[in-house]
Structure formats: structure tokens, C-alpha cells
Amino acid sequence: MTKMLVTGGAGFIGANFVHYTLKHKPEYEVTVIDKLTYAGNPDNLASILEKINFVTGDLNDQALIDKLVSENDIVVHFAADTHNDNSLNDPWPFIENNILGTYHLLEAVRKHDKRLHHISTDEVFGDLELDDPNRFTETTPYEPSSPYSASKASSDHLVRAWIRSFGIKATISNCSNNYGPYQHIEKFIPRQITNILSDIKPKLYGTGEQVRDWIHVDDHNSAVHLILEQGKLGDTYIIGADNDHVNNKAVIEMICELMGKGHDWYEHVNDRPGHDMRYAMDSSKLRRELGWQPQYTDQNGMENGLKQTIQWYTDNEEWWQAEKAKVEAKYAEQGQ
């Protein structure tokens, strides 16, 4: 058995990663470390809790991290503060969790000479103009726009510096926006789905022209496993499922249609300040070198992924119901 430490495993992608690992990769013994911020929910792992080790704790607790890293063979690092809007209201948790947290993890990985995979985002590259046909690649320069993306960019730079300066055995991936089960309902897609389930009209920021290159969380996680197994140490891999033809307006319309509402059963709300226009990912390196293929790609794939996600939120109302009023009240304060 390979002992795997997953940071942020009670969050959206981390929890899906742990479920995916238990289902498809029985060779791993999984330990999760999660601080359980508002975004971490132990219920995300409730059905598999007896099959994993779960530790509530902070990456910035150096003694704890040192012990956990020393006890495991590999570390997959998801933990971060992740909601852009929150980073505009209060940047500090993003500096503390994303930059200092990664620093403390890196020091433990260096000391104990363990394999690390660092999860990052396309947001580090800034955005493209709507009519720009280019996509982000592994060599696109960093140009983050928000405190969130700047903190993720900082953590990526730290990982690269630890690879170059100290020779740690690490890989990095930058992925586009994810959707799927267990995503906090403050995020764009689950917010719209749970709005409709609550008989509230979905809310479209501004004109809705922004493009996000959506990827289903299982496709993200299959790529992470491939990188763990076959990725070249020191390398970065872009992960994206070629969905950069759908803008936010089209996503809302798709959700409305799939949930039996007219395609225009939504309303416009204030745009976000500094809202990035277009993200598009060129994942050809990952496909060419490691043979990765996303399952939910192109228009059909995106629809299937959304259908599966809608079904999950419909079947798991008790998972999100208690948070709904609070999340909408917070958005209402921002005119969104």
C-alpha cells in the first residue's frame, strides 16, 4: 500500500478526489488533513470515513504537518481558500492558507524527502480577451488579477523554487473551473442549480459573456492520478476539457433547460469587480505525454456532466439546504 496524504480533502475537489481514489485506486491508504474552514465539510467524506484516516488540522501547524508528512509516502495538496469574491472582501485568509500553508507543507516535504503534487488553477494566468483564440499553456506567463489568484500564483512559485533550489520531488497542475458533486453552493454552477431547486431565479453576473472552460471534477481527478503515476518530476501540466466555447450565459441557459425551466428563466445581477473574461486551457501536453482523455468534453459531455451534477444536488438537498439562505443573503448585500 502507498500511503497518501491529501490536504483539503474535506473540500469540493479534495473530497471528490478521495472518493475517486477509494473507488478506482485501491493501492492507496488515504489520510486527509483539513482545517474545516467554512468550505470544508466532513459530511463530504461521511460515507467513507471508516476507510480513511481523517485529521482536523491546519497546514500552518508545523509540528502536525511534519508528523503527517513523515508518516506518508506522497502528498496531494488541494488545501486552499478558494472563493474569489471572499478574497476581494478579506484577502488575509488567502495569504495565510494558500501561501504560508504551502510554505509549511513544502518544508515538511523537503525535510522528509516525499513526493508532492500541488494543485493549482488557470486563474494564475490572468484572462484572455473574448476574441483571443489562444489558450493557456505550461509556459504562459503569470498575471493573476485577484488576491485569490495572486495567492495561488505565489504558492506555485514557491513549489517551483523548492524544486529548483532543494530538489524536492514535485509536480504541479493548473486546472480550469471545476463543477460536480460536493461543490459549495456559493460557486456559480451549484448556486444556480440550488436556486432553481429553491424556486429562485438563477443569477447571471453582468452580461454573462465570460468563458470558463468548465471541467467535471472527475476529469480533473483522473488527470491528477495520471500525473502522480507517470508525471515527470519537476514538470507542470495544464488540465482542461476543451469546453472553452461555452460562456456563463450559455451555462445558465443549459441548466434552466435541463431543469425544466424556459432557457431564459434567470435574471441579471451586478458583475463582479475585475471579473476575468476568458480562460481557455491547452492540455495537449497531458494528452500527448501521459495519454489523458477527459470523459465530459464538448457540448454533449458538458450536458451530461451538468445532468449528473443537477441530479446530485436534487438527491442531496439536506447537504446544502441549511446554507442556502445565508449564501443568498451575502450575495444580496453585494447586489448579486
Catalytic positions, please?
122-123, 148
Q: Which residue is nearest to ligand NAD (CB)?
A: 11
* Pick 38 or 113: Cβ nearer ligand NAD: 38
* Pick 178 or 248: Cβ nearer ligand NAD: 178
Contact 285, 217 (CB under 8 A): no
Asked if 228 is part of the footprint of ligand NAD (rule: CB under 6 A), the reply reads no
Asked if 210 is part of the footprint of ligand NAD (rule: CB under 6 A), the reply reads no
How many binding residues for ligand NAD (CB under 6 A)?
A: 32
Task: Tell which positions 145-184 bind ligand NAD, by CB under 6 A.
Answer: 152, 175, 177-178, 184
Give the integer Cα–Cα distance in Å for 122 and 129.
Answer: 15
What is the closest distance, in whole angstroms, from the C-beta atom of residue 79 to ligand NAD in the complex?
Answer: 4
Among 6, 101, 320, 327, the residue binding ligand NAD under the rule CB under 6 A is 101
Strands (DSSP E) found in the chain:
2-7, 28-34, 53-56, 74-77, 115-121, 169-175, 178-179, 203-205, 215-216, 236-239, 267-269
Task: Tell which positions 6-45 bind ligand NAD, by CB under 6 A.
Answer: 7-8, 10-14, 33-37, 39-40
* Pick 28 or 279: Cβ nearer ligand NAD: 279
Nearest residue to 93 via CA among 148, 56, 153, 154: 148
Task: Tell which positions 59-88 bind ligand NAD, by CB under 6 A.
Answer: 59-60, 78-82
Contact 192, 252 (CB under 8 A): yes
Cα three-residue angle 296-287-236, rounded to 5 degrees:
110
Work out the number of other CB atoms within 10 angstroms of the CB of residue 250.
Answer: 16
Contacts of 194 (CB under 8 A, 6+ apart): 185, 313, 320, 324
Asked if 119 is part of the footprint of ligand NAD (rule: CB under 6 A), the reply reads yes
Asked if 95 is part of the footprint of ligand NAD (rule: CB under 6 A), the reply reads no
Among 4, 31, 58, 171, the residue binding ligand NAD under the rule CB under 6 A is 58
Give the integer Cα–Cα distance in Å for 222 and 293.
Answer: 9
Chain contacts with ligand NAD (rule: CB under 6 A): 7-8, 10-14, 33-37, 39-40, 58-60, 78-82, 97, 101, 119-121, 152, 175, 177-178, 184
